[in-house]
A and B are shown apart, each in its own frame.
Chain A
Amino acid sequence: MSSETVTLTIDGQEVQVPRGATVLQACESIGVEIPTLCTDPRLKPYGACRMCVVEVQPGPPRPTASCTTPAGDGMTVVTDSQSIKDIRKHVIELQLQHHPLDCPYCDQAGTCELQDEVFDQEIFQSPYETVPKAHPEEILNEVILINHNRCILCGRCVRMCDEQIGVRALDFVERAVGTFIAPAQHEFMDCERCGMCIETCPVGALLSRPFKHAARSWQTEKTASTCPHCAVGCSLLVESRHGSVVRTRSNGLEEPDRGILCAKGFFGHSFVNSGERITEPLVRRNGALQPASWSEALNVISAGLREVLDAHGPQAVGVVGSPNTTNEDNYTLQRFARAVLGTNNVYSQSSGLHAAARTLRAVLGSAAGPRSQSELLESDVILVVGADIGQTHNVVGAHVKQAARDDGRTLLVATRLASGLDDFATVAARVRPGAEAVLLSALAGADIPNMHALTGIDADTLTAMRSRVQAAGTVAVVWDTGVWTLGKAEAIAQGAANLALAHDGVKLFPLPERANAAGTFLLGMAPDLLPGARPLSDDEARRQASDAWGAPVPAEPGLAFDDFIDGPMQALYVMGEDVVGGSANPQGAQAALERARLVVAQDIFMNATTEAADVVLPGATFAEKGGHFTNFEGRLGRLAPAIPPVGKARPDWEIVARVSAAMGADFGWRSHEPISTELAGLMQRPSLPGSRESAAVNGAAPAPADGFVLATEQHLYTAGVSGRRADSLTLMLPEAVAELNAGDAQRLSIAHGDRIRLSADGGEVNLKALVADRVPPGVVSLPDRFLEAAPRQLDPRAPDGAAVRVHKV
Chain B
Amino acid sequence: MSLVVTKNFGNPQSWTLDSYRAAGGYTALARVLREMTPEDVSDLIKASGLSGRGGAFFPTGLKWEFVRKDPKTPRYVVVNGDESEPGTYVNRYSLELDPHLMLEGMIIAAYACHATLGYVYIRGEYGLAHERTQAAIRDAYAAGFLGSGILGTSGFDFDITFRRGAGAYIVGEETALFNSLEGKRGNPRYKPPFPTNVGVWGLPTAINNVETLSAVPDIMRNGAEWFQDLGRGEAAGTKMYCLSGHVAEPGVHELPMGVTARELIYDYGGGVAGGRGLKGFKPGGASSAPLTPNELDAALEPKSMGALGTIMGTGGVVVFDETTDMVDVAYRDALFFEEESCGFCIPCREGAPNLVQICERILHGQGTMDDLELLEELGASMMASFCGLGQFAHQPVRGAARRFREDFVAHIEGRPIPAAAS
Question: Which of B168, B345, B374 makes the CB contact (< 8 A) with A49?
Answer: B345
Question: Which of A48, A53, A86, A97 makes the CB contact (< 8 A) with B344?
Answer: A48
Closest to A50 in B: B384
| In the complex, number of A-B residue pairs with CB atoms less than 8 Å apart | 97
Q: Do the beta carbons of A177 and B345 come within 8 Å of each other?
A: no
**Smallest CB–CB gap between B367 and chain A, Å?**
13
Judge if B414 is at the interface, Cβ distance under 8 Å. Answer: no
Stretch of B75-83, B216-224, B317-325, B375-383 contacting A (4+ beta carbons < 8 Å): B375-383
Judge if A287 is at the interface, Cβ distance under 8 Å. Answer: no
Kindly list chain A residues whose C-beta atoms are within 8 Å of the C-beta of B383. 62-63, 87
| CA distance in complex: A86, B344 (Å) | 21
A597-641 Cβ-contact flags toward B at 8 Å (1 or 0): 000000000000000000000000000000000000000000000
**Smallest CB–CB gap between A405 and chain B, Å?**
12
Kindly list chain A residues whose C-beta atoms are within 8 Å of the C-beta of B349. 153, 176-177, 179
Judge if A175 is at the interface, Cβ distance under 8 Å. Answer: yes
Kindly list chain B residues whose C-beta atoms are within 8 Å of the C-beta of A222. none
Judge if A476 is at the interface, Cβ distance under 8 Å. Answer: no
Q: Do the beta carbons of B346 and A50 come within 8 Å of each other?
A: yes
Q: Do the beta carbons of A172 and B347 come within 8 Å of each other?
A: no
Given contacts A90-B378, A94-B351, A179-B349, contact A50 B338 (CB under 8 A): no
Given contacts A50-B345, A175-B343, A176-B338, contact A128 B381 (CB under 8 A): no
B330-341 Cβ-contact flags toward A at 8 Å (1 or 0): 000000001111
| CA distance in complex: A65, B341 (Å) | 19
| CA distance in complex: A91, B353 (Å) | 14
Kindly list chain A residues whose C-beta atoms are within 8 Å of the C-beta of B380. 83, 86-87, 90
Q: Do the beta carbons of B342 and A95 come within 8 Å of each other?
A: no
Q: Do the beta carbons of B354 and A48 come within 8 Å of each other?
A: no
Judge if A68 is at the interface, Cβ distance under 8 Å. Answer: yes
Given contacts A45-B190, A86-B377, A94-B354, contact A176 B384 (CB under 8 A): no
Judge if A129 is at the interface, Cβ distance under 8 Å. Answer: yes
Judge if A241 is at the interface, Cβ distance under 8 Å. Answer: no
Closest to A178 in B: B343
Given contacts A176-B352, A177-B338, contact A63 B384 (CB under 8 A): yes
Q: With a 10 A CB-CB cut-off, give which of A69, A127, A155 has the most chain B CB atoms.
A: A127
Question: Which of B346, B381, B391 makes the CB contact (< 8 A) with A48?
Answer: B346
**Smallest CB–CB gap between B242 and chain A, Å?**
27
Judge if A377 is at the interface, Cβ distance under 8 Å. Answer: no
Given contacts A47-B190, A65-B386, A87-B381, contact A177 B346 (CB under 8 A): no
**Smallest CB–CB gap between B390 and chain A, Å?**
9
Judge if A174 is at the interface, Cβ distance under 8 Å. Answer: yes
Question: Which of B168, B185, B352, B378 makes the CB contact (< 8 A) with A177?
Answer: B352
Closest to B337 in A: A176
Given contacts A65-B386, A90-B381, A153-B349, contact A177 B344 (CB under 8 A): no
Given contacts A87-B384, A94-B347, A153-B349, contact A172 B185 (CB under 8 A): yes
Judge if A757 is at the interface, Cβ distance under 8 Å. Answer: no
Closest to A152 in B: B346
Judge if B10 is at the interface, Cβ distance under 8 Å. Answer: no
Kindly list chain A residues whose C-beta atoms are within 8 Å of the C-beta of B386. 47-48, 50, 65
Question: Which of B339, B343, B346 makes the CB contact (< 8 A) with A94?
Answer: B346
| CA distance in complex: A621, B84 (Å) | 63
| CA distance in complex: A699, B78 (Å) | 55
Kindly list chain B residues whose C-beta atoms are within 8 Å of the C-beta of A97. 350, 354
A44-57 Cβ-contact flags toward B at 8 Å (1 or 0): 01111110010000
A92-122 Cβ-contact flags toward B at 8 Å (1 or 0): 0011011000000000000000000000000
Q: Do the beta carbons of A62 and B344 come within 8 Å of each other?
A: no
**Smallest CB–CB gap between B168 and chain A, Å?**
7
Judge if B292 is at the interface, Cβ distance under 8 Å. Answer: no
| CA distance in complex: A112, B47 (Å) | 55
Question: Which of A46, A47, A129, A153 makes the CB contact (< 8 A) with B343?
Answer: A153
Q: Do the beta carbons of A94 and B190 come within 8 Å of each other?
A: no
**Smallest CB–CB gap between B397 and chain A, Å?**
15
Q: Is the interface of B mostly helix, strand, loop or mixed?
A: helix
Judge if B88 is at the interface, Cβ distance under 8 Å. Answer: no
Q: Do the beta carbons of A49 and B185 come within 8 Å of each other?
A: no
| CA distance in complex: A171, B350 (Å) | 19
| CA distance in complex: A208, B281 (Å) | 55
Question: Which of A91, A153, A179 makes the CB contact (< 8 A) with B347?
Answer: A91
Judge if A70 is at the interface, Cβ distance under 8 Å. Answer: yes
Q: Do the beta carbons of A177 and B350 come within 8 Å of each other?
A: yes
Q: Do the beta carbons of B168 and A68 come within 8 Å of each other?
A: no
Question: Which of A53, A153, A175, A177 makes the CB contact (< 8 A) with B384?
Answer: A53
B348-382 Cβ-contact flags toward A at 8 Å (1 or 0): 01111110010000000000000000100110110
**Smallest CB–CB gap between B140 and chain A, Å?**
35
Q: Do the beta carbons of B345 and A47 come within 8 Å of each other?
A: yes
Kindly list chain A residues whose C-beta atoms are within 8 Å of the C-beta of B351. 94
Closest to B356 in A: A177
Kindly list chain A residues whose C-beta atoms are within 8 Å of the C-beta of B378. 90
Given contacts A50-B347, A70-B192, contact A129 B339 (CB under 8 A): no
Judge if B94 is at the interface, Cβ distance under 8 Å. Answer: no
Judge if B385 is at the interface, Cβ distance under 8 Å. Answer: yes
Kindly list chain A residues whose C-beta atoms are within 8 Å of the C-beta of B343. 153, 172, 174-179
| CA distance in complex: A49, B391 (Å) | 14
| CA distance in complex: A45, B192 (Å) | 12
| CA distance in complex: A50, B349 (Å) | 12
| CA distance in complex: A68, B190 (Å) | 7
| CA distance in complex: A725, B347 (Å) | 47
**Smallest CB–CB gap between B141 and chain A, Å?**
33
Closest to B187 in A: A172
Question: Which of A48, A155, A171, A177 makes the CB contact (< 8 A) with B353?
Answer: A177
| CA distance in complex: A29, B223 (Å) | 53
Q: Which of A575-604 contact B (CB under 8 A)?
A: none
| CA distance in complex: A438, B298 (Å) | 81
**Smallest CB–CB gap between A239 and chain B, Å?**
30
Given contacts A48-B346, A153-B349, contact A175 B341 (CB under 8 A): yes
| CA distance in complex: A693, B357 (Å) | 80
| CA distance in complex: A36, B283 (Å) | 37
Given contacts A48-B345, A62-B391, A65-B190, contact A98 B381 (CB under 8 A): no
| CA distance in complex: A701, B149 (Å) | 55
Kindly list chain B residues whose C-beta atoms are within 8 Å of the C-beta of A47. 190, 345, 386
Given contacts A62-B391, A86-B377, A91-B384, contact A176 B342 (CB under 8 A): yes
A72-97 Cβ-contact flags toward B at 8 Å (1 or 0): 00000000000100110011001101
| CA distance in complex: A401, B99 (Å) | 44
Kindly list chain B residues whose C-beta atoms are within 8 Å of the C-beta of A176. 338-343, 349, 352
Q: Do the beta carbons of B342 and A175 come within 8 Å of each other?
A: yes
Q: Do the beta carbons of B385 and A50 come within 8 Å of each other?
A: yes
B375-407 Cβ-contact flags toward A at 8 Å (1 or 0): 001101101111000010000000000000000
Question: Which of A83, A86, A129, A152 makes the CB contact (< 8 A) with B357?
Answer: A129
Kindly list chain A residues whose C-beta atoms are within 8 Å of the C-beta of B342. 175-176, 179
Closest to B341 in A: A176
**Smallest CB–CB gap between B351 and chain A, Å?**
6
Kindly list chain A residues whose C-beta atoms are within 8 Å of the C-beta of B344. 48, 153, 155
Kindly list chain B residues whose C-beta atoms are within 8 Å of the C-beta of A70. 192
Q: Which of B162-197 contact A (CB under 8 A)?
A: 168, 185, 190, 192
Given contacts A87-B347, A87-B383, A153-B349, 5 further A-B contacts (CB under 8 A): A47-B386, A65-B386, A70-B192, A90-B347, A177-B352
Query: What 5 A-B pairs have minimum CB-CB distances, sorted nearest first?
Result: A179-B343, A94-B350, A90-B381, A68-B190, A176-B341
27 contacts between A and B (CB under 8 A): A48-B344, A50-B347, A50-B385, A62-B383, A65-B190, A65-B384, A69-B192, A86-B381, A87-B380, A87-B384, A90-B347, A90-B378, A91-B346, A91-B384, A94-B347, A94-B350, A97-B350, A128-B357, A129-B357, A153-B343, A153-B344, A171-B185, A172-B185, A172-B343, A177-B352, A179-B343, A179-B349
Instruction: Using CB atoms and an 8 Å cutoff, list the residues of chain A in contact with chain B.
Output: 45-50, 53, 62-65, 68-70, 83, 86-87, 90-91, 94-95, 97-98, 127-129, 152-153, 155, 171-172, 174-179
